[in-house]
Structure 1
């Protein structure tokens, strides 16, 4: 029995030695990969951050920006954000097989991300925003089954959005804003069952929005501003978007009516439809979006009156309505939104006078732009109650009286 115990102890000791040796070999692999990265950027590290810190005389897990796992001692996260680094990402980075998070945002990396990163099967987060990466979006991202967040905004990526991106069934956050991407939004987007945020603003995307995008109940934010998208918004746009908080479609070529169905996106906080070709009237149903803080509706080709129901938006902070073909007066209900900070109703062909209590119900109002309309009457003295007002533009209207004459752009 005693000999058996001795044999067991020897076996356990050998296993521990093998494990230690194996771990040392693996951390050496991680060290080699990181040193390869250091060699790519050593000439462009203005403060020599990595040169002073990444040294073979100190453990890898103590290096700046490096995090290791407590169990296996392997590199699990690399954070080199905002270090003003310049260079290329080496192929050896694909050897960091335990890497979960890669954050190199706010630097000057260029070239392309190497295909060897496809070996990082544990990867959950990649943030390469605000660099100078060029070429196309690598299709190998679709081979990372655990990827949840992919940030590639503000680079110089071109070409189409690869459909393979939408093979990543766990993807929750996709941000591609501020590139040179073209082509259509892939229909395959419908396969992303867990997508919360999609940012495609400031690209050159064309075509219509895939109707399947509006069937993803997990979506919280849709950003499509400043592209070349066109077509009509579906009448049932909000039937399957119960969690949507922001819908930004400005600076495109959408036409047709603004769907009254938007009221079903009851959690909507930001609605921006400016600089499109919408026609018809402003749906009164928008007044049911009581969580709205930002509402932008111009310029478009809208007509009719401003619905008084917009006064129900008691959390609204910014209201923008300009260069439309509206009629009637400004509803008094807008001046009872106590949270309102910026009110812009410019070049909309509105008539009538302003309510006598203007300023009393808007204590947080900072800027008012009402120029290029046909508003008339005496400008109310109650505006003096808006103590935070810094900009008041009433130009090109028909106001009368000394109070109106003393008001102008950038004057209180």
Structure 2
């Protein structure tokens, strides 16, 4: 090989090495730039997250009237996630003497800024000093699963924006002065399992949209000013275990569709203005333990189908306008502890199957119903009359005998006097 060819080969080799080296340097630089960029983005995100976390604490600290720079994540009633976001708040402003009680001297209201706590999954705020309204901004808490608001001085309507809380499983609203109507948007809470809207001044009717809450187990809307009819759509809620609409002004009939609620354990519709008859379909509720339909305007007879409810413990049909006889089938209620049928228009007699039971039984104020006392009354009357007649005859006989004896004595005395004269 000539020197010229060797020189050419070396030149090509150097050129290849140089090209490869430059390519590796470029790759190295690009990788480092990429790493720096990732670190820069991470730092920016961290700074922004830190600012968000600080803002979250500022919102909560403002409600608590404490230093805005305070790290709220160390508060006993606040739980934060691993990355520092507030996920759980449980404030009690004066309903007990427990360690959970916050400041009870000053009135509190829920800041609208709470709607910015978007990582929240649990929010519980209660207290006798809780006032103001329920902020519509709470509808922004799309991760919320539990909402409990209870305050004596709350004066608010229920924001329809709460219908945006698609992950919500539990809602409890009590405020005595919470007013307005029930938003139909509550029917959007398809993950809801328990709803308590109790002891408020809610008016209007129960939205039929609640019939879409297929996961609902407990539905309590009691002690309000609700009127109108009970939506038949509620009969579609196959997971329901409890319905309590007591202490309202509900009218119309009890939906026959309730007979499809096979898991229902408690049905409380007492103290309303319900009319019509008791649906025989309620006899299909094999898991029912409590049926309270008292203080309404229900008519007609008691369905014998209720005798199939062998898990029943309390049956209260008092203070209605029920008529007819008491079904003997009620004697089949093997777990029954309380049967209240008082203040109706029932007739006939108490079935012997019920007399044998050791239960709390009240059938008073049924004018046409024959009770044990009523049965004993005629016999007692006969006995009293018989005794009186016997006493009268005895007295008459005694008087007669006494009079006869007196006459005999006088006659004998006269005879003795006559003999002495002779």
Normalised-by-shorter TM-score class: 0.7 to 0.9
Cα deviation 1:287-326 (Å, max 9, x = unaligned): 1111112211011111222222222222223222210111
2:363 corresponds to:
345
1:184 alignment partner, SS class: coil
Q: Is 2:397 aligned against 1:376? A: no
1:80 corresponds to:
91
Q: Is 2:228 aligned against 1:207? A: yes
1:304–1:89 CA distance, 2 compared to 1 (3 A): same
1:250 corresponds to:
270
Cα deviation 1:140-163 (Å, max 9, x = unaligned): 111222222211134311121111
Question: Cα offset for 1:330?
Answer: 2.6
Q: CA RMSD in A?
A: 3.0
1:393 corresponds to:
none
Rounded Cα–Cα distance in structure 1 between residues aligned with 2:150 and 2:356: 41
Q: Is 2:196 aligned against 1:175? A: yes
1:17–1:376 CA distance, 2 compared to 1 (3 A): farther
Rounded Cα–Cα distance in structure 2 between residues aligned with 1:337 and 1:15: 77
Q: Is 2:119 aligned against 1:98? A: yes
1:237 alignment partner, SS class: helix
2:299 corresponds, among 270, 275, 279, to 279
1:187 corresponds, among 194, 203, 208, to 208
Superposition pairs for residues 325-336 of structure 1, below 5 Å? 325-336=345-356
Q: Is 2:73 aligned against 1:61? A: yes
Asked whether the 8 Å contact 1:97–1:120 carries over to 2, the reply is: yes
Asked whether the 8 Å contact 1:104–1:129 carries over to 2, the reply is: yes
1:155 corresponds, among 166, 176, 182, to 176
Rounded Cα–Cα distance in structure 2 between residues aligned with 1:327 and 1:307: 11
1:228–1:298 CA distance, 2 compared to 1 (3 A): same
Kindly name which structure, 1 or 2, has the bigger radius of gyration based on alpha carbons: 2
Superposition pairs for residues 121-160 of structure 1, below 5 Å? 121-160=142-181
Asked whether the 8 Å contact 1:315–1:337 carries over to 2, the reply is: no
Rounded Cα–Cα distance in structure 2 between residues aligned with 1:107 and 1:286: 43
* Further displaced range: 326-335 or 176-185: 326-335
Cα deviation 1:346-388 (Å, max 9, x = unaligned): 21233242xxxxxxxxxxxxxxxxxxx746379xxxxxxxxxx
TM-score (ref. length: structure 2): 0.74
* Further displaced range: 267-276 or 80-89: 80-89
Asked whether the 8 Å contact 2:258–2:282 carries over to 1, the reply is: yes
Where in structure 1 are there 5+ consecutive unaligned residues? 40-50, 354-372, 379-396, 402-412
Question: Cα offset for 1:23?
Answer: 3.5
Higher helix fraction (1 or 2): 2
Rounded Cα–Cα distance in structure 2 between residues aligned with 1:123 and 1:275: 38
1:352–1:192 CA distance, 2 compared to 1 (3 A): closer
TM-score (ref. length: structure 1): 0.75
2:126 alignment partner, SS class: coil
